[in-house]
Chains A and B, each alone.
Chain A
Amino acid sequence: MSIETLTQFLAPTYENFPKGRTIGMVVLRKTQSELILRTEGSGEPMCSEFVQAGFQHKNSLQRLVMTKRKQVAPERRFGREQLRGFELLYPNKDGAVCSLNTNAPCEMCIDCFLYGFAAGGGGAQKSRVWTEDAFSLLPTSETVAERTINAIFETGTMRDENGKASTALNTSEYIKPGVHFLDVVTLKDMTADEMRYVLGNILMTPRYGAVSSRIGRMENQILGIFGGITELPSSLELVQSLYDALIEANTPLEHPFDTDLLVEMTKGAIATWTNRRGISRQLTEEQLTDVIADVDRHWDGERETFLKRLDRSYETFRKPPAKASSSRKGKKNAEPVTPEG
């Protein structure tokens, strides 16, 4: 029951009105295999952005970006697989089982209550899991590689029986294994069980980005948990402060970067955060380990009991999804579908 260390910053039950209880987490995401994070159509092959390298060092640096969408979608999917397994996803207004990316969510399941939804007919829930774009510490020159894909013919050559050359020659970029992303996740007005659920999703989601059986593996580790009434600094500011520390210590910006060193540096950088206004407590190393063990325990032996208990906690707040109101029907929705799911 070690998550109770955070009781002061957790809600006793789901409530509809925000009360400023804020849990901030620093997440280290490390690629375990090749990873492909493509931008959606801006022309660049891999998600990256020029940003200021550090606070002191104001030169610009191209870093990989893992957008909030690329994080939260697979994490939600992981949780929803579990919910589906225990039949904890509910039918939507059309009678179909709750699913992401449609305008007919069930409005009743754990995922809907935590990560939010916007239903086409009216009805919406704001997400209480606030993610943000994560950045690589090292520049893309170190973290991205290129691969040439060629489709050879059955003859084992690039020419077919008639001597025609293969056109299936392509180069594609990928993120190398062993690349570190630093990330800040915020949980708002969450109950202990809800926090366990979200943490489980983060710790157990195996793959991100473009999906295949060979690529996209990523391991997530929680480096710090904070409780307070306000948010932690952004992930960009975190990598910027680490960059300054790296330069200060004459550590080369080279891949592969030593994970132990990175963890140590990050913990050093975030240790001062409790001095900021509104961030009142950081869990000690021991308490942090306890919380992770608590989460593992709930997701391991007690998973069914835990998920069903969390599901029951929404009982009194549940309302079956409303049919679209006649005044609203047919009216074009001015807001685009949030590409969050």
Chain B
Amino acid sequence: MSLLTTIENTRANLPLFKQARLVELWCAEPVFFASRELSDAYYTEGVLGNYALAYALGWVRSPYRLSGTATWRPTYLEDLGGLSDCYVLPAWPKQGKVTFRWERFNALSDSYWYAMTNNRVATSREDLPVQREGKKPNSFRPSNFPQSGRLRTIARGNLFQTLVFGNRELPDYIRVGKFMSKVRVEVISELKQVALSEGMYQSSAYLNTADLPAELQMLSFDLISIPPAPLVKNLRFQGAAWQFGEIIVPVGICFCGGGIK
């Protein structure tokens, strides 16, 4: 009888993680994500999102060639929703603070020849004779791509930490961000799950709002607004919890809240 109730109360595809590893991520290169855009400046937030980490760890194989809608419509739900034997939290800065670095980008620096035209860097030298004839060459057409601006990147040498749930083997290095920056992965400790009964808890981890169980009572938190889903930190919540080392997370945390229902 009691067994039956337990089964009924547990969602079918709810992952049960018995262990997790505390992992340190060292940025061998500056890391850039377009978290926010203000005019010509692109800001990376001081966090490594867990969806990006899941792809970087090789848990999902996304194709080399993207075509049609796939180039701008992400497929997180299809890709990650089905993963039930592994999970990773968004990575938080180990020292609590992140150092950033500003870089200027332009699409014209490396070309033999260029000209600024209609919000567009023309780089095709072959277009010069066409222009001399008074015609408008192809590369002079307006562009709706930003051609120059500033990037705030996470500086080289920053250290992040995260929890990796499940037993999957981890690579020593991963690539993250828009410029495929190299990041070293180091397992710091192996942690056993301690089940905590229903109660009020505070989590010191960064959590992805899309991955929290729908029924979770969130009492207070700080919001980090980044795509594709906002993250929370310093979350106080009411519910059952798991403890791994010093980190407490709500029971039932999983990619996209368990995927397609």
Q: Given A230-B173, A336-B149, do A69 and B139 touch, yes or no (CB 8 Å)?
A: no
> Main SS of chain B's interface residues?
loop
Q: Given A124-B71, A125-B66, A339-B106, do A68 and B145 touch, yes or no (CB 8 Å)?
A: no
The distance in angstroms between the C-alpha atoms of A51 and B144, with both chains bound, is 38
The distance in angstroms between the C-alpha atoms of A76 and B72, with both chains bound, is 26
Question: What sequence of 0s and 1s flags, for each residue 146-168 of chain B, a beta carbon within 8 Å of any chain A beta carbon?
Answer: 11011100001100000000000
Q: Given A18-B64, A120-B143, A123-B71, do A277 and B182 touch, yes or no (CB 8 Å)?
A: no
Taking a contact as CB atoms under 8 Å apart, the answer to whether A100 and B67 are in contact is: no
Contacting residues of chain B (54-82) with chain A, CB-CB under 8 angstroms: 58, 61-69, 71-72
The distance in angstroms between the C-alpha atoms of A101 and B106, with both chains bound, is 10
Check: A12 CB closer than 8 A to any chain B CB.
no
Taking a contact as CB atoms under 8 Å apart, the answer to whether A234 and B110 are in contact is: no
The distance in angstroms between the C-alpha atoms of A236 and B27, with both chains bound, is 11
Q: How far is the CB of B105 from chain A (nearest CB, A)?
A: 4
The distance in angstroms between the C-alpha atoms of A49 and B181, with both chains bound, is 16
Smallest Cβ-Cβ distance to A93: which chain B residue:
B138
Smallest Cβ-Cβ distance to A339: which chain B residue:
B105
Q: Which residues of B contact A (CB under 8 A)?
A: 28-29, 34, 37, 42, 58, 61-69, 71-72, 101-112, 121, 123-124, 126-127, 138-139, 141, 143-147, 149-151, 156-157, 169, 171-173, 175, 178-182, 184
Taking a contact as CB atoms under 8 Å apart, the answer to whether A16 and B64 are in contact is: yes
> Main SS of chain A's interface residues?
loop
Q: Quick one: which of A211, A276, A319 contacts B67, CB cutoff 8 A?
A: A319
Cβ–Cβ < 8 Å partners of B29 in chain A: 68, 132-133, 234
Check: A260 CB closer than 8 A to any chain B CB.
no
Cβ–Cβ < 8 Å partners of B173 in chain A: 230-234
A interface residue count range (under 10 / 10 to 19 / 20 to 34 / 35 or more): 35 or more
Q: Which residues of A contact B (CB under 8 A)?
A: 15-18, 20, 39-42, 49, 51-52, 68-70, 73-74, 94-97, 99-104, 116, 118-120, 122-128, 130, 132-133, 189, 211, 230-234, 236-237, 276-278, 317, 319, 322, 325, 328, 330-341
Taking a contact as CB atoms under 8 Å apart, the answer to whether A122 and B63 are in contact is: no
